[in-house]
Structure 1
């Protein structure tokens, strides 16, 4: 049996709780049910925020790679500008050495017209070269200025994403802390009851999930490989930002599952929802990815028969569940890879 859930997510079902502990009394039972509902909502909010942090992290990584490329381009362009500038300096010196009198005056005072005409040709060549290099210098300088502006823009975007990542991560942690605080206000015996109930519920879900996993036996192709990989993780705990090998968040699980099938996906449900082929809801097949929430904040792999395998939320474990079990998070997209 896999390790049971943490005390921070100790409540799984108010209806089940009330049926198990009717002797608690109406007022006390109502209080426990209210606490459970609040804790579940806080954990869901935390999980949603964590997925928002993952999306920011994915975007930040892509932006950082782009920035590095642009900075390297700016460095090359800077060297080009410096090289052309030095060439112009050499041209200027040569032109100075060739003399400053006009060609007509030099011809008038020249004692050797043939020698002068040869020098004049060299001077004209230097002038043409200078003009060409000036045009190159101006073009290179414009390119460098444009690239520098792009670098500044990317740096500003990086700062915004870093701030969003920190904010979403902190928000998720605050929600979990609020859930823990609510639980800490319960009597010791109530906390123990809830912890035991939650552990029993997770164990029951794990047992039924292992039975349901047998339905994937006939699924082939890349989707089948990904689905079977995810099903092998049944019972593993949910952890923010985790992508295996023993703890997972929702998009970490789907990312690794499809990676095992040779499909590269980012570690973000929102980012994954923009990839693959869009499938009408009524045509989904086992192995398709199901996306939930507006904006997208959860993903699971369709098993068939209205069920999916997913890493639900903090305090829970990887399991097979009904694909319409996410309550306020509707199914918004189906993608096939």
Structure 2
């Protein structure tokens, strides 16, 4: 029986043939296959940077929510300090107006002891109240100072994350710009040949992916729901930061797939890799999440048979592929 070649094998053969049938480019002395390999590498680097940006975005959103809560707490504490301060002022003013101290000295020499004792009791009550309010004021002021320091710390963290987000996003854009620059150096007919080759390979991957998706029919539970949802997106294009309903990045696809199964995940492969239950690599099952790269920069859903469904990179589509990314090692498997 003749063995049927996979889409990946067809891709390798196509690139191999191009490398021997296309003369070197005059501008860069490279074959079309070499240019295509460079473009793929740049797109993968851009995708890695984009996932780094997604992690910064998730952390920034969480930190911003935390900061808003702490700032609200600081505002309440500030009002409490003001209120206690006013109470202390009122006690002091009233004590001054009533002349409590001078009256107590006069009553000390009074011929009526009961009058003195009565007045002394009132003075003691005022003093106790003032002492209590003073302790409250000191405690409230300490809490406000501590909260204010926390706000300052959070604001500094926000600035750091905003900078990281901007840098990662700019880096991703620069890698795509380099890929576009490589293409721009090619002749029109060479660009068209590369585009046609890429489209044919994606179409072949889509056809084989749809066939492979049938193997998920027997997967049940949350894993089955998430896996089947992801497989329904086969053929949708990869877009940085996208989470549906027609375009995806890797963590956007897994986030939305598991949301349909009742599992809340952040839109970041690195953040997702810290959630769920850790599973030994040799015990993974269909529906488990597989994480790649150090640091983590890619995620896919295991289909079984050494394959996964994922949104690979810019310029590609959601597909079923081998559960291996070459230069990005498998670093974690998580179950939800």
Q: What corresponds to 1:277 in structure 2?
A: 277
In structure 2, what is the Cα distance between the partners aligned to 1:105 and 1:18? 108
Question: Any idea what SS the aligned residue of 2:31 has?
Answer: helix
In structure 2, what is the Cα distance between the partners aligned to 1:30 and 1:79? 70
Q: What corresponds to 2:256 in structure 1?
A: 256
Question: Any idea what SS the aligned residue of 1:309 has?
Answer: strand
In structure 2, what is the Cα distance between the partners aligned to 1:166 and 1:258? 28
Distance of aligned partners of 1:154 and 1:21 in 2 relative to their CA distance in 1, 3 Å threshold: closer
- Give 1:121 deviation, angstroms: 1.3
> Normalising to structure 2: TM-score of the pair?
0.92
Do structure 1's residue 312 and structure 2's residue 303 form an aligned pair?
Answer: no
Q: What corresponds to 2:287 in structure 1?
A: 287
Q: What corresponds to 1:225 in structure 2?
A: 225
Q: What corresponds to 1:199 in structure 2?
A: 199
Between Structure 1 and Structure 2, how many residues are aligned?
A: 325
CA contact (8 A) 1:230 1:309 kept: yes
Q: What corresponds to 1:6 in structure 2?
A: none
CA contact (8 A) 2:230 2:254 kept: yes
CA contact (8 A) 1:300 1:308 kept: yes
CA contact (8 A) 1:13 1:36 kept: no
Which range moves more in the overlay, 221-230 or 158-167? 158-167
Question: Any idea what SS the aligned residue of 2:315 has?
Answer: coil
In structure 2, what is the Cα distance between the partners aligned to 1:91 and 1:168? 58
Unaligned runs of 5+ in 2: 1-9
Distance of aligned partners of 1:26 and 1:152 in 2 relative to their CA distance in 1, 3 Å threshold: closer
- Give 1:102 deviation, angstroms: 6.0
Which range moves more in the overlay, 59-68 or 16-25? 16-25
Q: What corresponds to 2:16 in structure 1?
A: 18
Relative contact order higher in (CA < 8 Å, ≥ 6 apart):
1
CA contact (8 A) 1:294 1:329 kept: yes
In structure 2, what is the Cα distance between the partners aligned to 1:75 and 1:271? 32
Q: What corresponds to 1:327 in structure 2?
A: 326
Q: What corresponds to 2:142 in structure 1?
A: 142
- Give 1:185 deviation, angstroms: 0.1
Which range moves more in the overlay, 301-310 or 22-31? 22-31
Q: What corresponds to 1:9 in structure 2?
A: none
Q: What corresponds to 1:171 in structure 2?
A: 171
In structure 1, what is the Cα distance between the partners aligned to 2:327 and 2:20? 28
CA contact (8 A) 1:229 1:257 kept: yes
Do structure 1's residue 42 and structure 2's residue 42 form an aligned pair?
Answer: yes
**Map of 1:81-230 to 2, 5 A cutoff?**
81-99=81-99, 101=101, 105-110=105-110, 112-230=112-230
- Give 1:111 deviation, angstroms: 6.4
- Give 1:139 deviation, angstroms: 0.3
Which range moves more in the overlay, 161-170 or 102-111? 102-111
* RMSD (Å) for aligned C-alpha atoms: 1.8
- Give 1:237 deviation, angstroms: 0.1
> Normalising to structure 1: TM-score of the pair?
0.92
In structure 2, what is the Cα distance between the partners aligned to 1:104 and 1:94? 15
In structure 1, what is the Cα distance between the partners aligned to 2:187 and 2:158? 46
